[in-house]
Amino acid sequence: MAGGFLMEIRRGTQSALLVIRASAEDPGTPVEVSVSADSLEVRSSGSCAPAALPAGVRLAPSSCRGLRRLPGDGLHLRMRLRRPPPPADLAFTLRESLKPHKKYVFYCQSCGDIIVKDRKFLRVLPLPSENWNDLVEEWCCHPNPFARSTLHPQHDDCFLGDTFFMLNSGNESHVPESLMCCSETGHHASQSGFNLKSKENTRVICKRCKKMLGETISSDTIKYYVTEVIIQPSEGSFSPIPRSQFVQSMVAQCLLELSSAKSTFRFTVKGDNGKTYILIWLLNSDTLLVESLGSSSSLSVLTLFGDIFMPSSGPVGTWNAVKVLYQPCIKCRNKDLADAWENDMGVHPLKFPSETCLELLLMLGLSTASLPPSLRCMNSFQLHEIERRLRLRTSEPFQNFISNSS
């Protein structure tokens, strides 16, 4: 299949949108498409390219409708499914992965260096949302009783936030010095007596690769971001995960958990410097993407990120995705819209390291550019689909944050 294809399947509606990419060599060549329950076949210029669909995906050929050719896209076709595809695997969540009374090792996601070794927690507790203290006046008819109190983990505690977890660092002296993370001033993150005069001095970075991992909250409390650290049981071994796949998976999990728990579907992505980098609008989380790479000449067009299609994936890649709309806010872009969302109680902030926010924005842009032109925007937002797979067990158009379109 010279041009390859992209199929977006919605589990909720049991429907599918099929886009057969136009051949780069001759986009005007007549194409004949045959659809069966478990395969697609495209004939063009005397060649025939069949492609088997993944197990569990069964189409209803008689429901095909809306066939049309769009310049720059190829052929578009909508159809129904004979039965719902297999349910999505349960997303890996930090709350489910960390259990009391078990030992864990914390690795730097970027380089695999050990950050915390053989740590056992007696309590693993969720934190309230980051702006909970701002709402106390709405709950209480008397002065804020929590004005001078802080939520810091005690010895052998782990506190879980929306995008981070907090540890008490006072008992990490058993970790070898060469394995410790350090602040940007060169002091070890586990030592007390930090000088917290500036924001730079609170950053916690990996000693090996210099990647920012989190922040020091106090002399004995460290906050690590979920996009920067991999947590595995002590008896396991480190298994590297491509950076873009890991970041997409963790962000998708944050969106799913918060939308389910708080019934909110709009998010601002903020850096540790307080700046807003991205506005995200969650569209759906029941999308299954099926994509054929086609011939080698079309790989640069079809591949969303260099690390998504692994050699074991074969000619057809399949993954669960969350579809979002997004708007970049760097260099004062969409400032009025960002200000409006900032003051909207229905919008939830997500905080990550500033470098990760820029990485995420780049991933979104590359993913959007890989889509057929007609699927890249909706209203004023750009469209994107975020991969949910993880091996660990409106003034301007919004851009697609994940590779699907409606």
Tell me if the domain spanning 98-172+201-233 has CATH number 1.20.1300: no
Decide yes or no: CATH 3.30.420 for domain 5-83.
no
The pLDDT of residue 397: 42
Question: What mean pLDDT do residues 284-289 have?
Answer: 89
**Mean pLDDT within 226-234:** 93
Supply the pLDDT for residue 299.
Answer: 36
Higher pLDDT residue, 3 or 8? 8
Q: What is the mean pLDDT of residues 181-204?
A: 48
Percent of the chain whose pLDDT exceeds 90: 42
pLDDT grade for 399, boundaries at 50, 70 and 90: very low
- SS3 track for 17-84: EEEEECCCCCCCCCCEEEECCCEEEEEECCEEEEEECCCCCCEEEEEEEEEEEECCCEEEEEEEECCC
What is the reported pLDDT for 177?
33
Residue 294: is its pLDDT beyond 70? no
Q: Report the pLDDT value the prediction gives residue 261, as an integer from 0 to 100.
A: 87
Q: Is the pTM of this model over 0.85?
A: no
Mean pLDDT (the chain) is 78
User: Per-domain residue ranges for the chain?
Assistant: 5-83, 98-172+201-233, 243-285+320-394
Output the pLDDT for position 377: 86
| Number of alpha helices (DSSP H) and beta strands (DSSP E) in the chain | 6, 24
DSSP 77-130: EEEEESSPPPPPPPPP-HHHH--TT-EEEEEETTT--EEEEEEE-SEEEEPPPT
Q: Would you state the pLDDT for residue 369?
A: 86
